[in-house]
Amino acid sequence: MALLEVKDLQVRVEDREILHGLSLTVNPGEVHAIMGPNGSGKSTLSHVIAGKPGYEVTGGQILFRGEDLLEMAPDERAAKGVFLAFQYPVEIPGVATMNFLRTALNAQRKARGESEYSTPDFLKKVREVSKSLNIPQDMLKRGVNVGFSGGEKKRNEILQMALFEPSLCILDEMDSGLDIDALRIAADGVNALRSPERAMVVITHYQRLLNYIVPDFVHVMAKGSVVKTGGKELALELEGSGYAQFEHAA
């Protein structure tokens, strides 16, 4: 069974239709890149899958392991294994990162009917993962994303991805605001999480990120739908020709 099936999805924000009949199928173990110019609806797609308020689905459906995702509250989707790495992770002052990670992880486990992590197990796990991502321990004591650099914020997103072990990871413009070294560290973190059970949807404007996270499929979005699908070579092709051709075609 497909992990994620988006069928003929139509989405409005206020009076404007942003997605008109978008379809996408993602199987376990696959990495899909979604590329497209600004305003093509890439981020809208990621938000609607994760359940962000403010979008009206006027047609189509989203199935996650065959279940209707649109019927679930955002926190239920998270517990089912949908993870969205934010383009702009928010700051939560006064809430220590460690406390946040633990509260969230245990909330998810509780929702799935699993037992909560014991403190030593949790700490061990966080230490392992944060070390591999080059995240210093004192960063975990600071407020969530408060005073973090752009690179630290993105690494914090990947840290959560590694801890929560979701089956679907959506990475929204992970490369924005990162220099080349920070990008490499983040990409290495993501690559370490690739597995036959886990699928990833990588949303990006530039081809650059895909040199580090090599996708199995590339979809080009323009004006609210997928206009072309191909292998990883499609990204390189776009690097040369740009998006203009698709904007006219759409």
Partner 1 sequence: MVAVQETVDRVRRIDVDQYRYGFETLIESEKAPKGLSEDIVRFISEKKSEPAWMLEWRLEAYRRWLTMTEPTWARVNYPKIDYQDLYYYAAPKPKKTLSSIDEIDPEILKTYEKLGIPLREVAILEGVEPPPGGEPSEQRRIAVDAVFDSVSVATTFQKELKKAGVIFMPISEAIREHPELVRKYLGSVVPTSDNFFATLNSAVFSDGSFVYVPPGVRCPMELSTYFRINERNTGQFERTLIIADKGSYVSYLEGCTAPQRDENQLHAAVVELVALDDAEIKYSTVQNWYPGNSEGKGGIYNFVTKRGECRGANSKISWTQVETGSAITWKYPSCILRGDHSRGEFYSIAISNGYQQVDSGTKMIHLGKNTSSRIISKGIAAGKSQNTYRGLVTAHRKATGARNYTACDSLLIGDKCGAHTVPYVEAKNSSATFEHEATTSKISEDVLFYCVQRGLSQEEAVGLVVNGFVKDVLQQLPMEFAVEAQKLISISLEGSVG
For partner 1, the closer CB: 52 or 127: 52
Does residue 113 bind partner 1 (CB under 8 A)?
no
Does residue 74 bind partner 1 (CB under 8 A)?
yes
> What CA–CA distance (Å, rounded) separates 133 from 43?
25
Min separation Cβ 189 and partner 1, Å: 17
Phi then psi for residue 65, to 5 deg, are 50, 40
Q: Are 191 and 212 in contact (CB under 8 A)?
A: yes
| 23, 39, 52, 236: which one binds partner 1 (CB under 8 A) | 52
| 66, 94, 113, 240: which one binds partner 1 (CB under 8 A) | 94
Piece in contact with partner 1 (CB under 8 A), picked from 14-22, 88-96, 184-192, 207-215: 88-96
Using DSSP, state whether 150 is helix, strand or coil: helix
For partner 1, the closer CB: 50 or 202: 50
Q: Which residues pair with 43 in a beta bridge?
A: none
What would you report as the CA-atom Rg of the chain, rounded to the nearest whole angstrom? 18
For partner 1, the closer CB: 159 or 210: 159
Looking at this protein, which amino acid is placed at residue 72? M
Q: Which residues pair with 34 in a beta bridge?
A: 203, 219
Does residue 141 bind partner 1 (CB under 8 A)?
no
Handedness of CA 37, 5, 48, 111 (dihedral sign): negative
For partner 1, the closer CB: 161 or 222: 161
> What CA–CA distance (Å, rounded) separates 18 from 8?
13
Min separation Cβ 178 and partner 1, Å: 19
Residues at the site binding partner 1, with contacts judged by CB under 8 A: 50-57, 70-75, 77-79, 83-84, 86, 89-90, 92-95, 100, 103-105, 107-108, 111, 143, 160, 164
